[in-house]
Structure 1
Amino acid sequence: MVILKRLATVIPTLIGVIIVTFLLTRVLPGDPAVYFAGPAATPQSIAEIRKSLGLDRPLPDQFLRYVNDLAHGNFGNSLSTGQSVATEIASRLPASAELTLFGLFLAIAIAVPLGIFAAVKQGSWIDHLCRVIATAGVSLPVFFTGLLLAYVFYFRLGWSPAPLGRLDAFATSPPDITGFFLIDSLITGNFETFRSALGQLILPAVTLAIFSLAPITRMTRASMLAALASEFIRTARASGLSSRTVILTYAFRNAMLPVVTTLGMVFSFLLGANVLVEKVFAWPGIGSYAVEALLQSDFAPVQGFVLTMAVLYVALNLIIDMLYGVIDPRVRVDA
C-alpha cells in the first residue's frame, strides 16, 4: 500500500520535471540553428534550419510535440551525433552506473565501520580521524579531488593508468551482457580486461567515494551514539551480552534507518557529481554526454539526461521505502 501511495506521487513529480526541463532548455543562451548552420551561414539558411527543427513554432506547440514523443518512448534525436537520444543514453548509462555504484560501495565500506568505531570509541583518535575525514570530504570540490588524484597517482607516481575512459588502449571491450565491464569481463573469464577496467575505475571511484564519505560517516556516528545511549542497549549490556552482539546486532540495526536515508541522498548527489568526474577522467557516461550536448545547445540529450536522472531518483526513493520495512517491521505496521 505504501508503494502504491509513493507511485501516485511519481506522476506529478515527473510532469514537473518535464515542464521545468523543457522551459530551461528554451531560455538557455545559444541557438541550435545558429550553431549547426555554422559561422558563415546566412539569416535565410538559419531560418530554414530553425524551421526544420521545429524551433519556429510557438512554445506550447513545441511542448505538446515533445510530450507526444515521450509518450511513444521517443526522446528525440541528438543534433550533434544524429543518433537517437534513448539509444545514446542506454549505451552510456551502464558506464555511469558502474562508476557511481563502485564509488558508493567504497564509501560505505570505509564510512560505516569508521562511523561505528568513532561512536564506540568516542573522544579517541578514531573519533578525531572521523571528524577530519568528514571535514575534508565536505571541503574539497569533487573536480579538484579528481584532478589532484590524477596528478599524484598518474602524473607523479605513475601508479595509475592514463585517466582516459573505461579501458586502456591495449584492452578490448568485453561482450555486452550487463554493460558493466567488471561484471562482463568476469562472466566471460577475460581477466586481462577485468584488470584494465578495474585500474581505470579506481581513481574516479575513489574521487566519488571521498565526496560521499563525509555525510555517511557523520550520520553513522550520530545514529550509533543515539542508539548506544538508549535504555535497551543498557539492558542488553546488563544481560551479559558480548560487546560485539550489543553493538552490531542491537545498536547498529536500530541506527540503520537514518543511515539508509543518508545513502539515498548521497546516491542522488553522486548522480550530479558524476558529470564533473566523467569530464575529468574522460569517462564515457551520460554526464559527459549531457555536458557536451549542453555546450552545443543540443536540447534533446539534455532533456533526456534530466528525465533519466529524475526516474532514477524516484526509483531510488521507492527502494529506500521498501528497505525501511525490511530493516524495521514497525515501519510497515505504522504505514
Structure 2
Amino acid sequence: MLRLIGKRLLAAVPSVIGVLIVTFLLTRALPGDPAAFFAGPAATQQAIDEVRKSLGLDKTLPEQFVVYLKDLSTGNLGNSIATGQPVLTEIRTRLPASLELTLYGLLVSVLIAVPLGILAATRPGSLVDHACRVITTAGVSLPAFFTGLLLVYLLYYRLGWAPAPLGRLDIFFSAPTTVTGLYTIDALIEGNLETFRAACAQLLLPVIALAIFTMAPLARMTRAAMLEVLNSDFIRTARASGLPKGKIIYGYAFRNAMLPVITTLGMVFSFLLGANVLVEKVFSWPGIGTFAIEALIASDYAPIQGFVLTMALLYVALNLAIDVLYIVIDPRVGFDA
C-alpha cells in the first residue's frame, strides 16, 4: 500500500510542475496591468512604474519564474494586491467554505443518484428507468450556475421558502468557533443548534444546484455498470441457486459495479470543484472560487496561481484516495498496480 502511494505521488510531480509553468505563463498573458490597478486610476506613469518595480513585474519572465519558485519553496504564495493579505492566509480561510459546499453537494448527489441508478438497472423499461434518463439528461443540459439562478428566482424571490443567497450565514447569526472551518460541523461541536440550522438553510440552494449538476454522470454510470454485472454469468448462477434478491443485487452485483462508479465519483468531485467557482459567485459564497474570480478581474497574479496550485494538489489527493479505495474494494487492483 505504501509503495503504491509513493508511486502515485511521484507520478503526480510532473503534472504539478506542468500546472505551475502553464499557470505562470497564462497569468502573465491576461489583459490588464496589475501595477496600474494597484496604483489607482489617478496615478501617474512614474507611480505605476514604481509599483511595477516593487511587485517585481519589471523583471523578465524567467527571472519572475525563478523568484516565484523560490517563494513557493518556502511556502510563500505571494500577497494579494486586492486585499493586501498573504495568498496562503486567504486560501486557508476560504477553503473550508468551498469544501463544505462541495462535500455536501457530492453527498446529496450520491444519496440520490446511486440508488436511482440501481433501481433503473434492476427495472429496465419501467417508470423509474425512464425517470432516471430524464433526470440525467436534464442534469447534463443545465449548467450549475443557471440552476442556481433558477432556484434563487423560484424558491427565494417568488416563493420565499429559502433564505437570501448572501453567504454562509444570515446576518443575524455569528460564525461558530472555528474547529474544522465547516460551519455545520463547528456549530454541532459547539452545541449551537440555531447556528447549525441557519448554516444548513444557507447551504440548501447551492447544494441542490451542485447536486443536480453531478447526479447525471453518477446515475448513468451506476445504471450502466449494474446492467453489465446483472447480465453476467455469476449473477445468473446466484439466481439459479436461490439466493435472496437483496444479497444478489447489493452483495454481489453492486460490489462488482463499484469500481467504475468510484472512478466517476472522482471525476464528479473534480467537476464540482470547477462548478463551485460560478456557484459561489451566484450565492455570494466566500470560498476560494469567489476569491479566484475577483483576482482574475483585477489581473491579480498571486491569488490565481495559488488557486490553481490548490486545485492541482486537491486533484492529486483525490486521485490518491481513489487508488486506495480501489484496493479496499478489490485487492487484486493493488497487484495489478
TM > 0.5:
yes
Deviations 1:162-207 (A, max 9, x none): 0000000111110000000010000110000000000000100110
How far apart, in 2, do the equivalents of 1:76 and 1:182 lie?
Answer: 31
How far apart, in 1, do the equivalents of 2:312 and 2:206 lie?
Answer: 23
Instruction: Please list, as runs of the form range in 1=range in 2, the aligned pairs for 1:116-195 lying within 5 A after superposition.
Output: 116-195=118-197
Deviations 1:99-124 (A, max 9, x none): 00000000000000000000000000
How far apart, in 2, do the equivalents of 1:45 and 1:200 lie?
Answer: 44
In structure 2, the residue matched to 1:331 is 333
In structure 2, the residue matched to 1:312 is 314
How far apart, in 1, do the equivalents of 2:46 and 2:93 lie?
Answer: 37
Return the offset for 1:333: 2.6
How far apart, in 1, do the equivalents of 2:249 and 2:191 lie?
Answer: 40
Counterpart code for 1:150: V
How far apart, in 2, do the equivalents of 1:186 and 1:38 lie?
Answer: 45
How far apart, in 2, do the equivalents of 1:332 and 1:39 lie?
Answer: 59
2:201 to 196, 199, 207: 199
Return the offset for 1:239: 1.0
Counterpart code for 1:321: D
- SS in structure 2 at match of 1:177: coil
In structure 2, the residue matched to 1:262 is 264
Return the offset for 1:296: 0.7
Instruction: Please list, as runs of the form range in 1=range in 2, the aligned pairs for 1:292-303 lying within 5 A after superposition.
Output: 292-303=294-305
Instruction: Please list, as runs of the form range in 1=range in 2, the aligned pairs for 1:33-72 lying within 5 A after superposition.
Output: 33-72=35-74
Return the offset for 1:36: 1.6
How far apart, in 1, do the equivalents of 2:214 and 2:96 lie?
Answer: 20
Unaligned runs of 5+ in 2: none
Return the offset for 1:3: 1.6
Counterpart code for 2:50: E
Return the offset for 1:2: 2.0
Counterpart code for 1:188: E
Deviations 1:229-253 (A, max 9, x none): 0111011111110110000000000
- SS in structure 2 at match of 1:24: helix
Deviations 1:127-166 (A, max 9, x none): 0000000100000111110000011100111110000000
1:80 to 79, 82, 95: 82
Deviations 1:274-309 (A, max 9, x none): 000000000000000010011111110000000000
How far apart, in 2, do the equivalents of 1:160 and 1:121 lie?
Answer: 35
Return the offset for 1:44: 1.2
In structure 1, the residue matched to 2:214 is 212
How far apart, in 1, do the equivalents of 2:191 and 2:230 lie?
Answer: 46
Q: CA RMSD in A?
A: 0.7
Counterpart code for 2:132: C
In structure 2, the residue matched to 1:110 is 112
Report how many aligned residue pairs link the two structures: 335
Instruction: Please list, as runs of the form range in 1=range in 2, the aligned pairs for 1:277-288 lying within 5 A after superposition.
Output: 277-288=279-290
How far apart, in 2, do the equivalents of 1:101 and 1:301 lie?
Answer: 23
How far apart, in 2, do the equivalents of 1:128 and 1:183 lie?
Answer: 37
Return the offset for 1:39: 2.0
Counterpart code for 2:156: Y
Counterpart code for 1:5: K
Counterpart code for 1:322: V
- SS in structure 2 at match of 1:82: coil
Counterpart code for 1:95: A
Return the offset for 1:268: 0.4
Counterpart code for 1:294: L
Return the offset for 1:40: 2.1
How far apart, in 2, do the equivalents of 1:242 and 1:85 lie?
Answer: 56
Instruction: Please list, as runs of the form range in 1=range in 2, the aligned pairs for 1:5-20 lying within 5 A after superposition.
Output: 5-20=7-22
Kindly indicate whether residue 224 of structure 2 is the aligned counterpart of residue 222 of structure 1. yes
How far apart, in 1, do the equivalents of 2:114 and 2:316 lie?
Answer: 25
Counterpart code for 1:69: D
Return the offset for 1:334: 2.3
Deviations 1:309-335 (A, max 9, x none): 000000000000000000011112323
1:244 to 238, 243, 246: 246
How far apart, in 2, do the equivalents of 1:120 and 1:100 lie?
Answer: 30
Counterpart code for 2:317: A
Unaligned runs of 5+ in 1: none
Q: Percent identity?
A: 69
Counterpart code for 2:64: Q
How far apart, in 1, do the equivalents of 2:297 and 2:140 lie?
Answer: 28
